[in-house]
Chains A and B, each alone.
Chain A
Amino acid sequence: MKKTISKMIIATMAISLLAGCSGPAAGGQSGAASKAAAASTEGVYMFGILSYLNMTEDDMALIMDGRKPAIKYLSEQGVAKYNMTDQGTIKVKFYDTLESIIMGLEAGDIESTELPKCTADYLVAHNDKLEVKLSYNMDKADDFAKSVVNHLGVGFSFLVKEDNKALCEELDKAISEMKKDGTLSKLVKDHINEGVFTEPKPIEFEKTSGDTLKIAVTGALPPMDYVAPDGSFAGFNTGLCAELGKRLKKNIELIQVDSMGRAAALASGKVDAVFWTAGQNGNTSAEEDERFEKSGTEEQKKVIESLKSVSSREKDEKKDRPGGTITTQPYYSDQFNVVGKK
């Protein structure tokens, strides 16, 4: 009797789990539940964000609040494609992984999340419950609008130990060369522009007689960094590493570490470099900011003022940097898009 009851409990658990994950009927029910959950905190707009080391959720909410005039301006210029309800008071919830953000979105725990455009595109291409709520049409953007979008963006760099400046310089040099000779653009085309919609492309690493460079990957931020069905590392970062190996004449060993364990892996010397998303989009410049501050329209100046009140180049660089580390120049820069439930 006991056995039958326990079998029934397990079967019910399994069916409810599977039903909760798929199927239009179940999706409809969970959608209704999530709307009810969201409605219970009326006037508060919950954003889910991948955690920053040196910032609290309240700090991040302030930054997002300070961005509102900029997004309004871009929307009026026809640059920002906006499909969001009135955000009211913004609150931020930090998540350690992208998958927990997706679960938070699907459960209605948060209403939107902010992600690099490439990841946002990948997400909506593979999960039909979600859609992009805020993106930017750069064809319509003038210089100022481009600069604002870049300020709202993100740069992807390598993080290395402060006492390993030689490696930082070596990587910086190789990144500059790859930018010049078009290698990075080709990697972007293969792994980001096309990679979002296609199966992971196989990446080959050349064996050399040189040293081994150990680089940490998380496998948790497609299409930059993820793991193919056969268990091999895939995505833009892996392609970049294969190319770096050739240029630096080093064997590359990719080591998968959970995102929260990366700083410990770097500090202990288990890895030499880790991929890091911090700092501003690499296409911004202090000179350009100064030019707009001096010669921009009143409206543009207000946008700059609002952005400056909540963030700066220095603050942005420090917000996610572990102590005793430095970053290379960004090898890829992206906009931040907002994704939410359909």
Chain B
Amino acid sequence: MTLFDKLDKILIQGNSWKTILGGLWITIQISLFALILGTILGALICFLRTRKNPVARTIAKVYIAVLRGTPVLMLLLLLYYGVFVRAGLTSVTVAVITFALNVSAHIAELLRSAFEAADKGQAEAARTLGFSAWDAFRLVTFPQVLRIAKPVYQSTIVNLIQWTSVVGYITITDLTRVINNTASRTMQPLLTIAIGMLIYLALSYIVFGIFALTDRFSKRGGDEG
């Protein structure tokens, strides 16, 4: 069997490329919604984590410790087969919740470290110049936080996409599951998995590309400004 025959069997015959794209779309959906929800939650946890109130701080600390310190697959199984078993939620919804919870802990920490790295002197200077606390945050601190957090946030997104590859455990046919199904059907696991890896790699590069584009736009915006 030549490489062409194998590729034909894996990608072309019976329109299997459509099924692979279907799996990819599920992976994108879960990653995207988990990212949006996780970023909102992460910002909230970061807000609590940086409060002076010890109760709020402890809650945030425990939240981050538990979610960052446990395997996301265990959390996925626990939520799907345990906590939400009677809730009537679809498996994709449970996956989005799980990955949002997990990624929110990482985002909370990356935001906190970005806040700590931002130049506090500049915010104080803005305040002495008559800026309100909100304006000093919005116009001085926040843009710095964004710039510092961006590279780590980008890696977190790529990690998130890869973590979602375990959703097959809760009955979801994502990209990994489709690749596994194809490997079982064609009995050519190595080549099929290599193709799967290339698709994940392409997805990661799209994320990097989007960030590179935003960099270019912000630079252009800066130049024009």
Contacts and interface: CB of A to CB of B under 8 A. Distances in A.
Interface stretch (A82-90, A255-263, A318-326): A255-263
A20 B169 CA distance: 29
Contact of B190 (A97, A103, A260): A103
A264 B14 contact: no
B70 interface: no
Interface in B146-191: 168-171, 173, 177-178, 180-191
B114 to A, nearest CB: 24
A229 B180 contact: no
Interface stretch (B1-9, B41-49, B55-63, B213-221): B1-9
Given A98-B184, A199-B14, A230-B19, A265 B6 contact: no
Interface stretch (B77-85, B98-106, B115-123): B77-85
B3 A22 contact: yes
B18 interface: yes
Given A128-B1, A230-B18, A230-B19, A222 B173 contact: no
A3 to B, nearest CB: 11
Contacts, number: 119
A103 B171 contact: no
A231 B171 contact: no
Chain B interface extent, by class: 35 or more
A219 B184 contact: yes
A229 B194 contact: no
Nearest to B16: A229
Nearest to A20: B190
A8 interface: no
A18 interface: yes
A261 B190 contact: no
Interface in A181-231: 199-200, 219-222, 226-231
Contacts of A219: 177, 180-181, 184
Interface of A: 10, 14, 17-18, 20-23, 97-100, 102-103, 106, 122-123, 126-128, 199-200, 219-222, 226-231, 255-258, 260-261, 264-265, 267-270
Interface of B: 1-3, 6, 13-16, 18-19, 22, 77, 80-82, 85, 168-171, 173, 177-178, 180-191, 193-194, 197-198, 201
18 contacts: A17-B197, A18-B191, A21-B188, A21-B190, A22-B1, A127-B188, A200-B185, A222-B184, A227-B181, A227-B185, A228-B185, A229-B14, A229-B182, A229-B185, A258-B169, A261-B77, A267-B81, A269-B85
